[in-house]
């Protein structure tokens, strides 16, 4: 019987070893080859959920040009500026047609304002009537950024569809057409003083192509 004891000890140790192996598997788990894939999928999913969708400004102004403005004014927003410029464009047309420039005086450089007023005065002397029917604004884009020590200037293109006509005192059309739409291209320059606390932009130049 004594000769069998070593075999019994080996058997007991074997049972203990098997028991420990099963315990370790239960605690640590068994690697099947899917763990790395699952981790990657979870990581990708986490990365995707953390992605913040930023509104691209490239369609409005070159990134390099935009950075010039943001370095001076971190709060500058392209969408807000262009939306405001469109509203102002409409306001200027309405004021110019009606002959009342009071609404745009504070946002227009004196030389530009005087040009508008001179054209209106001449129209009134000739008893002419201007017709401008703005159908749509097809393009509204910043094309140039000019920064000096004292100001920021933005060149903005407006491509619009309009009906334009000028009638004389007898309501006869002497220029344009009151039925057909035409494509009108304007380039306006807006300026804002850097050290001025007033956030409003001023129209300092207008060009028509």
The model's pLDDT over 108-119, given as tens digits with 9 standing for 90+, comes to 999 999 999 999
Q: Is the pLDDT reported for residue 154 higher than 80?
A: yes
Instruction: Please give the average per-residue pLDDT across 59-71, as a whole number.
Output: 74
Which domain covers residue 67, as residue numbers? Answer: 63-208
**What pTM does this model have?**
0.69
Least confident piece of the model among 14-18, 60-64, 172-176: 14-18
In a domain, 189, yes or no: yes
In a domain, 44, yes or no: yes
Do residues 73 and 173 both lie within one domain? yes
Do residues 77 and 24 both lie within one domain? no
Q: Is the pLDDT reported for residue 191 higher than 70?
A: yes
Give pLDDT, residue 44: 36
Do residues 75 and 100 both lie within one domain? yes
Choose between 154 and 13: higher pLDDT. Answer: 154
Give pLDDT, residue 60: 54
Q: Is the pLDDT reported for residue 175 higher than 60?
A: yes
Number of domains in the chain: 2
- Main-chain dihedrals φ then ψ at residue 136, nearest 5 degrees: -165, 155
Give pLDDT, residue 30: 36
In a domain, 57, yes or no: no
Q: Is the pLDDT reported for residue 50 higher than 50?
A: no
């Amino acid at each position: 019987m004594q000769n069998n004891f070593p075999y019994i000890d080996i058997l007991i140790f074997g049972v203990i070893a098997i028991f420990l192996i099963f315990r370790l598997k239960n605690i640590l788990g068994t690697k099947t080859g899917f763990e790395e894939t699952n981790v990657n999928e979870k990581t990708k999913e986490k990365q995707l959920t953390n992605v913040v969708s930023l509104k691209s400004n490239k369609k409005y102004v070159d990134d390099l040009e935009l950075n010039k403005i943001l370095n001076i004014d971190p709060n500058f927003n392209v969408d807000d500026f262009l939306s405001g410029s469109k509203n102002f464009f409409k306001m200027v047309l309405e004021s110019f047609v009606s002959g009342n420039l009071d609404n745009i005086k504070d946002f227009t450089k004196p030389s530009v304002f005087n040009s508008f007023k001179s054209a209106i005065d001449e129209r009134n002397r000739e008893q002419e009537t201007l017709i401008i029917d703005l159908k749509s604004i097809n393009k509204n884009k910043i094309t140039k950024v000019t920064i000096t020590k004292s100001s920021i200037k933005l060149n903005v293109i407006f491509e619009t569809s309009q009906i334009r006509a000028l009638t004389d005192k007898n309501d006869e059309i002497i220029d344009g057409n009151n039925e057909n739409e035409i494509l009108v291209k304007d380039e306006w320059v807006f300026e804002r003083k850097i050290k001025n606390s007033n956030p409003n932009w001023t129209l300092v130049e207008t060009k028509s192509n």
